[in-house]
Each structure stands twice: as structure tokens, then as C-alpha cells.
Amino acid sequence: MQDYAGGCLCGHVRYRSAGAPSFPHYCSCRMCQRASGAPVVAWVEFPRAALAFDGPGGAPALRRSSEKMQRGFCPQCGGAICSIEDGSDTIYITVATLDDPNRIVPQSQSFPGSAPAWLQLKVAPPE
């Protein structure tokens, strides 16, 4: 299995996963929009047990964004990196933080009704 690696804008928080990615998708919920400042965020899940934060900054800082979810970000540059749902054995990683984001192709869209009317997303068919 191939490793997936990535990190924040400044490189302070880095991660690596040997686990298989799953559920690559776009999310256009209002929470993701406000957290990122973008109309949509591309996410992919990795098993938490297979993901390690191995950069000089260690794990990202966490901020509770809802009753069940925390969002991880770099405490130096503020770059959004992940979301962690309470009790889940997976971690959502922002696709754009991967060193090679072309390796993950979103296959669905969550909360399409919350996307701006002008946004046109192309969702890849499942492989």
C-alpha cells in the first residue's frame, strides 16, 4: 500500500498515512464554508490508527466546531488540516493539504443544497 503524506501551508504540521483512503467527497455545508472561507472543501477519510502527525509541530491544534466534531489546524499558519468526529476510528483530511492532491478524486458531494448557486462541481463517478 502506498503512503499518503501532506501538511499545512508552513510545514509545521505534517502527516503520513499508510491506511487506505475512503469516502473522498466535497462538502459544501455552512460549517465547512465558514471554517475554510471557501464555498466547498474536499475531504477524504483515513483510519486514525494508520495516520501519524510527524512534522516538527506534532499534531494540529484542535477547536470544537460542533457538538460531535473538532477541526484541526496549524497553530502557526492557521491552515485547516483535518476534522475528527468524536468516537470515530477515522479522521477526515482536507484533500488540498496532501502533497499530491491529484491522487484523491472526490466522488460525491455532501450538502449540495448549501453550495452557492453559481458553484458548478464535477463529481467523478465511483471507480
| C-alpha neighbours within 13 Å on the C-beta side of residue 50 | 17
103-120 tens-digit pLDDT: 999 999 999 899 999 988
Residue 4 has pLDDT above 60, yes or no: yes
Domain edges within the chain: 4-107
Cell of 21: 483512503
Which pLDDT tens digit goes with each residue over 49-88? 999 999 999 999 999 999 999 999 999 999 999 999 999 9
- Residue keyed to cell 491552515: 79
Q: Name the CATH code of domain 4-107 (choices 3.60.150.10, 3.10.450.630, 3.40.640.10, 2.170.150.70).
A: 2.170.150.70
Q: What are the distances in angstroms from CA 49 to CA 12, 52, 91, 112?
A: 21, 8, 9, 30
29-55 per-residue burial string, b: 16 or more CB within 10 A, e: under 16: bebbbebeeeebbbbbbbeeebbebeb
CA distance 38 to 32: 8
What is the pTM (predicted TM-score) of this model?
0.90
Arithmetic mean of pLDDT over the chain: 93
Asked whether residue 1 carries a pLDDT value surpassing 60, the answer given is: no
Q: Does residue 124 surpass a pLDDT of 60?
A: yes
pLDDT at 120: 84
